């Protein structure tokens, strides 16, 4: 049975009679995730969370629709790792311009990008798009930062770590290899104080900082932990989408 809030499933008879006011698009990446997680990890995660968050908002009364997602992200730091597919930020901006033009044409007033990949940075793009499409409200949500996790996971990390592994154990358990096949996710960091203290930034050369493409120890991962974190993120993002759909820009301000 098709769902009218998932555009890829919806048919013309449903879409032509629905005045959607908020569109959502997921943006992930295709890249190595240690030895135990699939290349599509970021896409599986963002899509899973987005579908359920949009569903939550829809059944609360929001006229929100999930667009088909983009599976390629910025991977210039992983260029030497086999088949990590890179999409330049300038390409991302060009794609977003075309999508925004369609939404404006069809009077969809809000766009939310649900981001699943740390190297995707949409803030500058949103600033540019806001000047080109002043009638469209655009925002970005990093799904993995949308709920607290320090009380769930024992080992911090940011790539194929305990959190991502736990989440994938829920979303696509058949694609998760046994944990004893995973590397330990140990990473090197820059020695310079500016980088360590966070007031200087540069891209991490991925194959130089990690030996297994992971960043963070996945050994304590479990589906139970993944379920808790996913439920938090879906609730928070679903409520955000509903609230966004129900308010004009002026009403969001206080």
Instruction: Give the DSSP per-residue string, 9-26.
Output: T--HHHHTT----EEEEE
Architecture of domain 12-244 in this structure: 3-Layer(aba) Sandwich (3.40)
Could you tell me how far CA 55 lies from the centroid of its own chain? 17
107: left (phi over 0), alpha (psi -120 to 50) or beta: left
The mean pLDDT value of the chain amounts to 97
**Phi-psi category of 167—alpha, beta or left, where left has phi over 0 and alpha has psi -120 to 50?**
alpha
Report pLDDT for 249. Answer: 85
Domain spans of the chain, in order of start: 12-244
Confidence of residue 74 (pLDDT cuts 50, 70, 90): very high
pTM for the whole thing? Answer: 0.97
pLDDT digits (tens, 9 = 90+) for 100-154: 999 999 999 999 999 999 999 999 999 999 999 999 999 999 999 999 999 999 9
| CB-based contact 36:181 (threshold 8 Å) | yes
* Of 51, 65, 62, 61, nearest in space to 103 by CA: 65
pLDDT score of 1:
82
Q: What does the pLDDT average to over 26-50?
A: 98
**What mean pLDDT do residues 225-242 have?**
98
Phi, psi (deg, nearest 5) at residue 35: -90, -10
pLDDT of 134: 97
């Amino acid at each position: 049975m098709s769902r009218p809030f998932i555009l890829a499933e919806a048919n013309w008879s449903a879409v032509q009679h629905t005045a959607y006011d908020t569109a959502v698009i997921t943006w992930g990446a295709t890249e190595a995730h240690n030895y135990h997680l699939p290349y599509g990890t970021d896409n599986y995660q963002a899509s899973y969370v987005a579908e359920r968050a949009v569903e939550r908002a829809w059944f609360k009364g929001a006229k929100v629709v999930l667009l088909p997602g983009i599976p390629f992200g910025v991977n210039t730091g992983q260029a030497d790792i086999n088949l990590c597919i890179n999409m330049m930020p300038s390409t991302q901006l060009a794609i977003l311009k075309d999508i925004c033009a369609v939404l404006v044409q069809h009077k969809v007033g809000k766009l939310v990008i649900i981001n699943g990949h740390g190297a995707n940075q949409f803030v500058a793009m949103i600033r540019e798009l806001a000047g080109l499409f002043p009638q469209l409200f655009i925002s970005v949500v990093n799904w993995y930062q949308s709920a607290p996790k320090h009380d769930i996971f024992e080992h911090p990390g940011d790539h194929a770590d305990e959190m991502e592994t736990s989440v994938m154990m829920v979303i696509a358990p058949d694609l998760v290899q046994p944990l004893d096949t995973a590397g330990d996710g140990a990473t090197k960091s820059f020695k310079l104080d500016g980088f360590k203290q966070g007031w200087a930034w540069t891209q991490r050369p991925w194959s130089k900082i990690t030996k297994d493409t992971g960043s963070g120890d996945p050994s304590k991962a479990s589906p139970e932990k993944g379920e808790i974190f996913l439920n938090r993120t879906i609730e928070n993002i679903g409520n955000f989408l509903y609230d966004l759909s129900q308010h004009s820009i002026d009403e969001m301000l206080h």
